[in-house]
Structure 1
Amino acid sequence: MERRTALPIFLAALIAGASYYASHWTSLPPAAHAVWKGSGVGLLALWAATQARSTDGWLIAAALALGATGDVLLETHGLTVGAIAFLAGHVVASFLYLRNREKPRWQAGLIAVAVTALSWWLPADRSAAPGIALYAAGLGAMFGTAAVSRFSPFTVGNGAALFVFSDLLIFARLGPLATSELPGLLIWPTYFAGQALIAWGVVSALARERRA
């Protein structure tokens, strides 16, 4: 499918993802809520798949699909199962970015360690810290490898940073921001904006290379 033809799928993804923010103030059956939540990134994954012409194209589609799966599983099966799907997505995304690395690996490692350490520190329940740190190692690796990849820092780099910020808000809600309304207001928009920027940045870069 040509990029121009597939653009409505991307626009539908933005509408679905942005509109999900209204779910904070609506009462829906659990199944409808889960479908709505997964539709934004799910449509991003579909859009990426329609544009995939190479291994890199399919990798970004797979990473997004795992993110959409995580969104749904968080609602239907809880935090641990959902986190496993997200962690798998981070592994796929990290592999994609490493295939397209243009800066030293140690920079990616430094970012990954920083994200992991901060995530481990945030929860007040210290028994939860090891599991959070394990997930955060994958999250940090995704951010770090995105930062050292050849993809645009404006789209992919900032998108990965927003994804990390969203998850840090989740961890902070278990600790210093436990009584704050801020995480509830910011977690979804920063997460979805991050996924949309990543999708657009990678898919657009690959498309430009095909036309060159």
Structure 2
Amino acid sequence: MPRRALVNKRPYLVLSVIAALAFYYLRASNLPEMYLVPIKGSAVGFLALYCWMRHSSKSAHLLASALVVAAIGDMAIEFDLILGGAAFFVAHVIMIVMLLRHRRPPLEGRDSLVFIVLLLGTPFVAYFLPYDDRLSWPVTLYALALGGMAAGAWASDFPRIRVGAGAILFVVSDLLIFAGLGPLSGTQISEYLVWPIYYLGMFLLTVGVVTTLRKRDPELRVVKGGAE
């Protein structure tokens, strides 16, 4: 069984982790950007492949599509922050559509407070982070989609310890990017922390969604190329 799991399930995840680690360490080397950029994109790209191959539901395919767009954003952002942000905006919208298919009953108490903080607090904080006023509104617009995605993950019926936590880590990584345009500019904090926090968030979110879908709808597991 462990060998079967390794052959059928883990290769895509293992390749994803290898790509993520390779990008993190190789970017400090003299490796040309033409090699680094595809390595970076393949980290989340392999997560998309894992998602697509492990479950045939519409939700899994929506998430896989969002991950493909996010992988494009990972590469585009190396050349242009606005272009990369636009790709991630689209990825967030797709994720929101997927998450709305899995809503919990109406939230109450602390859960509703967390939902509001993620939904409204994310763009509110993002607005004040860049020092350049010209970036404040574009960043806020993007952060509305980011916060909506995180709030949707929190309000979904997916396990919060993975999906909710993964979405929150995504928010933290992006806020660090915006802080690099403001209070953290001139430091290396964003450079060292953004990628591992972002990738861990994407990994948790993807595995959490796929694992849950496979438990709920085992008949939709893909038979060839990534399942039993």
Q: TM-score, normalised by structure 1?
A: 0.93
Identical columns (%):
35
1:44 corresponding residue in structure 2: 47
- Confirm whether residue 141 of structure 1 aligns to residue 148 of structure 2: yes
**1:205 paired residue among 212, 215, 219:** 212
How far, CA to CA, are the matches of 1:103 and 1:164 in structure 2? 24
Q: How big is the shift at 1:3?
A: 7.0
Q: How many angstroms does 1:113 deviate by?
A: 1.0
1:1-212 mapped onto 2 (5 Å cutoff): 5-76=8-79, 78-104=80-106, 107=112, 108-211=115-218
Q: Give the partner amino acid of 1:56.
A: S
Question: Runs in 1 of length 4+ with deviation above 6 angstroms?
Answer: none
Which is higher, the Rg of structure 1 or of structure 2? Answer: 2
Which residue number in structure 1 is paired with residue 225 of structure 2?
none
Asked if the contact 1:152/1:201 (under 8 Å) is kept, the reply is: yes
- The residue identity in structure 1 corresponding to 2:14 is L
Letter in 2 for 1:138: A
Listed as ranges, the gaps of 5+ residues in structure 2 are: 220-228
Instruction: Quote the Cα distance in structure 2 between the aligned partners of 1:3 and 1:33.
Output: 30
Structure 1 gaps, min length 5: none
Q: Which amino acid aligns with 1:69?
A: I
Q: C-alpha distance in 2, partners of 1:124/1:25?
A: 27
Report if the CA contact (8 A) 1:160-1:195 is conserved. Answer: yes
CA contact (8 A) 2:45 2:68 kept: yes
SS in 2 for 1:75: coil
- Cα contact 2:27–2:36 (8 A) shared by 1: no
Asked if the contact 1:3/1:51 (under 8 Å) is kept, the reply is no
Structure with the largest fraction of helix? 1
Q: Distance in 2 between matches of 1:28 and 1:151?
A: 39
Kindly report the root-mean-square deviation, in angstroms, between the aligned alpha carbons of the 2 structures: 1.8
SS at match of 2:104: coil
> Could you tell me whether the CA contact under 8 Å between 1:52 and 1:61 is conserved in 2?
no
Structure having greater relative contact order (Cα 8 Å, sep ≥ 6): 2
